[in-house]
């Protein structure tokens, strides 16, 4: 167990903190992960959801939802098979942006890293911190689809680190990473990928085609991509484009989601964006027909 942990006040006013406002489950899980008795200096550690629930006093379902929300926000990644969590920027906050090769802490980082089993989380940490902490080269995963194209990053980080990323633009002008990010979502193990890869560009194109009145997507960020990938992976029925065409058609029938519902005087009508639609709670409510009854939605 660590003797102490650093938690920056910036958490509450940074991008991640702002995005979690009103979500007490996610806020509590985030604080728990940063101060967990099971955590280590590099932020990759064994942490079953049962631990989170027991040690915070939350119901298991609440702990699970809070963790899922943090994964969608890019705060952390979770491997359900090994019950391991990676708090993506924890090492940077606990140790520093980078260390000199002669710093005694380098040996400690290497020791903690060497304990990690081969997995996507290990690969992601290595890609994120190899140069900063002088880690040795790692063998690549068996399949390019398994290797993270870039590590997930905490949205509380206000100072963006310069990274050159290859991008390609769709006919709609949407900027999408040329290589999809790794599948770091709840319920995904660290073995070979067996599910169809989420076709982000095609789903974005269907959204624009069937919901032209809703906000256009111009940049598909890692957090947005992870939320869509999570919805794609949750149910085999969703792993084809026909499902998403039918789903977006269903969304278009909602007056509330498409800005056609009656609103109070002086209040702008609500328009559902794609990143709003694919958030876990919103996606569930849409499927439960919460927004297709105009009075109930209002």
pLDDT tens figures, 147-189 = 333 333 443 343 344 333 334 444 444 444 433 434 443 444 4
Distance, in Å, from the CA atom of 40 to the CA atom of 263, rounded to the nearest integer, reads 50
CATH number, domain 10-133? 1.10.10.10
Chain position carrying tokens 């880690």? 135
- Provide the 3-class DSSP secondary structure of residue 218: coil
Output the tens digit of pLDDT for each of the chain's 298 residues.
566 677 778 778 888 788 888 899 999 999 999 999 999 989 999 999 999 999 999 999 999 999 998 988 888 998 888 889 999 888 988 888 889 999 999 999 999 999 988 888 888 898 889 999 999 887 654 433 333 333 334 433 433 443 333 344 444 444 444 334 344 434 444 444 456 789 998 999 999 999 999 998 888 887 888 889 889 988 889 999 999 999 999 999 999 899 888 777 767 888 999 999 999 889 999 998 888 876 555 5
Model-level pTM?
0.49
Residue 83 in contact with residue 48, Cβ under 8 Å?
A: yes
**Domain locations in the chain?**
10-133, 195-297
pLDDT for 50? 92
pLDDT in tens, 133-144: 999 887 654 433
CA dist 219 and 224 (Å) reads 9
Contacts from 149-152 at CB under 8 Å and sequence distance 24+? 149/177, 149/179, 149/180, 149/181, 149/182, 150/177, 150/181, 150/222, 151/88, 151/124, 151/125, 151/127, 152/74, 152/76, 152/77, 152/86, 152/88, 152/124, 152/181, 152/182, 152/184, 152/222, 152/226
The structure tokens listed for 138 are 């790692």
């Amino acid at each position: 167990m660590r003797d102490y942990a650093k938690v920056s006040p910036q958490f509450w006013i940074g991008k991640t903190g702002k995005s979690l406002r009103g979500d007490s489950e996610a806020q509590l899980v985030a604080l728990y992960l940063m101060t967990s008795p099971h955590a280590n200096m590099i932020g990759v550690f064994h942490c079953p959801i049962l631990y989170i629930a027991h040690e915070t006093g939350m119901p298991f379902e609440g702990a699970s939802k809070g963790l899922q929300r943090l994964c969608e926000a890019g705060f952390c990644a979770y491997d359900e098979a090994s019950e391991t969590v990676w708090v993506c920027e924890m090492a940077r906050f606990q140790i520093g942006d980078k260390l000199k090769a002669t710093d005694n802490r380098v040996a400690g980082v290497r020791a903690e890293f060497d304990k990690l089993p081969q997995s996507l989380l290990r690969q992601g940490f290595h890609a994120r911190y190899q140069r900063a902490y002088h880690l040795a080269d790692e063998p690549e995963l068996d399949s390019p689809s398994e290797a993270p194209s870039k590590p997930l990053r905490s949205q509380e980080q206000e100072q963006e680190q310069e990274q050159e990323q290859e991008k390609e633009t769709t006919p709609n002008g949407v900027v999408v990473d040329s290589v999809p990010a790794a599948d770091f979502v709840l319920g995904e193990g660290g073995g070979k990928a067996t599910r169809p890869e989420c076709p982000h560009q095609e789903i974005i194109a269907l959204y624009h085609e069937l919901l032209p009145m809703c906000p256009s997507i111009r940049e598909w960020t890692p957090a947005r991509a992870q939320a869509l990938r999570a919805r794609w992976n949750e149910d085999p029925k969703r792993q084809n484009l026909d499902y998403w065409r039918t789903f977006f058609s269903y969304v278009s029938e909602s007056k509330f989601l498409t800005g056609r519902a009656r609103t109070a005087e002086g209040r702008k009508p609500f328009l559902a964006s794609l990143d709003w639609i694919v958030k876990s709670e919103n996606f569930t409510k849409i499927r439960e027909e919460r927004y297709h009854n105009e009075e109930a939605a209002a």
